[in-house]
Amino acid sequence: MPFSMIQTGAVPGSELIIYSVKGEFVGFAAVLTQGDLTNILYFAVVKELRGRGFGSAILVDLRQRYLGKLLAADIELPDKQTRKYQERLLRKDFFQNHSYQESGAGWHFKGTNHIVMVHGGNLTRETYWAFWDAFYVSWEKNRSGKVRKMEKCREGEENCLLAGKQEGRE
């Protein structure tokens, strides 16, 4: 989902939360909520401020804001074949250190596998995709007055959403 759509408020159920300390921008989170699930779509802390507890504080705030909701975060799968392996591994460790676990859901986009980390309960692949199907139905209705079901990948498609295991990975 393009960040600009969240930023402009064009996406029903989305929220952009800016975090600052003493007027200094430290990071942000962009989330999408449908029913009992809140998906963290974008999450960032200023690079120079990482390792100082701001990311942890943001996750605590998100848990409080969405109390009673299942929180999910899509992250790039750490893959030793990529130049960003260490960065991706640190990201996964960060979420795991905050009680997030792999859900079993995932997807593939532009050559990159993503996994869905979850906090506050279990998330099945079916629930995850029902979340996105409901979002797209709602979004299409608001946008065009018509309902169109989100299409999943066809064999060999590169830039699409996939659920489940790929190449033996979750």
Q: What are the Cα distances from residue 46, in Å, to 7, 104, 111, 117, 124?
A: 18, 30, 26, 22, 32
Q: What are the Cα distances from residue 95, in Å, to 18, 54, 154?
A: 20, 13, 31
66-108 residue pLDDT tens = 999 999 999 999 989 888 999 999 999 999 999 999 998 988 8
- Which CATH number does the domain 3-144 belong to among 3.30.540.10, 3.40.630.30, 3.90.1150.10, 3.40.50.300? 3.40.630.30
CA distance 68 to 74: 19
1-43 residue pLDDT tens = 666 667 767 677 889 999 998 888 999 999 999 899 999 999 9
* pLDDT for residue 11: 74
126-148 residue pLDDT tens = 899 888 888 776 655 555 443 33
Domain ranges (residues) in the chain: 3-144
